[in-house]
């Protein structure tokens, strides 16, 4: 029954995209409905990815026929509790700062001997394409629910990530001279009727956003991660396709996580 209401919502939103603008109160009601569904695994389709991710985490795969259960996400081998809240972070074994998705690829390669080129090819799920990464991120991020982001900054490379992230946030380029800051540096602004969260300073808008990613996108019928969101923002910016799991995306993620400290993670959420 509740699943049904998701389908109905998806249809209503499809119409919105076709040009019938929802009134302000209508879209607020819609957000309120999503909020109610978030914590109910029966009503929130994002939990399908959480479940699949949990199964993938313990499944023996790859040339080494190993599971990911010895993968160290920063809290010790196999410990997923609270790991997402403290990423991106520096990993000594790789001598790199990694976000969760980069780290998962690293573990798949080193621990499992999985063909990561194939995993990356399926990074964004869609009709006929199942993404392992979306599922694993949903499962692991969900294990930080109720916690606050705390960006590790003890290592010089973590500090560099954050500084570069801020610079990339302000970097204007392309035919439109757009930076993230063009659209996300003032409160209360919108593009057409679309509200734009302000990420230029730490606070409520950054928290509300980052505390709700990964999210189930009703319009795409997929669980989406920050890699996908930033891919989409770079598309709107008329920039080239950003490489999945590249350090630029990780730097931006470090910056966004820093701005979002102090909130409470509750994922997967549901968004239009």
In the complex, least distance from residue 201 CB atom to other proteins, rounded to whole angstroms: 5
Note whether 230 binds ligand HEC by CB under 6 A: yes
Q: Out of other proteins, ligand HEC, none, which partner does residue 180 contact, by CB within 5 to 8 A per kind?
A: ligand HEC
**CA dist list (Å): 137 to 125, 184, 244, 245, 269:** 13, 25, 14, 13, 13
In the complex, least distance from residue 182 CB atom to ligand HEC, rounded to whole angstroms: 5
Q: How far apart are the first and last CA of the chain?
A: 20
Whether the Cβ atoms of residue 176 and residue 225 lie closer than 8 Å to each other: no
**Separation of alpha carbons 116 and 174, rounded Å:** 31
Q: Which of 2, 5, 11, 21 binds other proteins (CB under 8 A)?
A: 21
Catalogue the E-assigned strands of 88-221.
89-91, 96-98, 189-191, 194-196, 215-217
Q: Which of 35, 81, 246, 264 binds other proteins (CB under 8 A)?
A: 246
DSSP string, 73-120: SSSSBT--TTTGGG-SEEETTTTEEE-HHHHHHHHIIIII---HHHHH
Q: What is the DSSP letter of 178?
A: B
Q: Out of ligand HEC, other proteins, none, which partner does residue 184 contact, by CB within 5 to 8 A per kind?
A: ligand HEC
Nearer Cβ to ligand HEC (209/254): 209
Note whether 129 binds other proteins by CB under 8 A: no
Whether the Cβ atoms of residue 105 and residue 94 lie closer than 8 Å to each other: no
Q: Which residue is nearest to ligand HEC (CB)?
A: 180
Q: What proportions of the chain, in percent to the nearest 5, are helix, strand and coil?
A: 45, 10, 40
Note whether 172 binds other proteins by CB under 8 A: yes
Nearer Cβ to other proteins (28/81): 28
Nearer Cβ to other proteins (38/249): 249
Q: Out of other proteins, ligand HEC, none, which partner does residue 41 contact, by CB within 5 to 8 A per kind?
A: none
In the complex, least distance from residue 208 CB atom to other proteins, rounded to whole angstroms: 17
Note whether 119 binds other proteins by CB under 8 A: no
What residues are labeled active site? 233
Point out which residues bind other proteins (CB under 8 A).
21, 153, 156, 159-160, 162-164, 166-168, 170-179, 181-183, 188-194, 196, 200-202, 235-236, 238-243, 246-249, 251, 255, 258-259, 261-262
């Amino acid at each position: 029954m509740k699943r049904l209401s998701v389908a109905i919502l998806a249809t209503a939103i499809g119409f919105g995209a076709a040009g019938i603008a929802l009134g302000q109160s209508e879209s607020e009601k819609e957000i309120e409905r999503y909020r109610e569904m978030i914590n109910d695994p029966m009503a929130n389709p994002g939990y399908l990815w959480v479940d699949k991710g949990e199964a993938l985490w313990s499944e023996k795969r790859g040339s080494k026929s190993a599971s990911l259960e010895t993968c160290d996400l920063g809290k010790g081998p196999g410990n997923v509790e609270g790991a997402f809240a403290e990423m991106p972070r520096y990993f000594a074994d790789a001598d790199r700062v990694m976000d969760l998705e980069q780290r998962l690829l690293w573990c798949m390669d080193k621990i499992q001997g999985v063909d990561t080129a194939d995993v990356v090819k399926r990074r964004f799920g869609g009709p006929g394409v199942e993404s392992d990464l979306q599922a694993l991120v949903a499962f692991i991020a969900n294990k930080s629910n109720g916690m606050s982001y705390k960006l590790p900054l003890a290592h010089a490379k973590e500090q560099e990530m954050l500084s570069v992230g801020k610079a990339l946030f302000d970097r204007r380029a392309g035919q439109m001279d757009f930076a993230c800051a063009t659209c996300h540096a003032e409160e209360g602004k919108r593009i057409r009727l679309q509200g734009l969260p302000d990420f230029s300073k730490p606070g409520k808008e950054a928290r509300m956003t980052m505390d709700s990613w990964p999210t189930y996108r009703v319009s795409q019928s997929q669980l989406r991660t920050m890699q996908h969101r930033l891919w989409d923002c770079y598309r709107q910016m008329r920039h080239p396709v950003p490489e999945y799991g590249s350090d630029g995306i990780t730097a931006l993620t470090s910056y966004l996580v820093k701005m979002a400290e102090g909130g409470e993670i509750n994922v997967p959420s549901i968004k239009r």
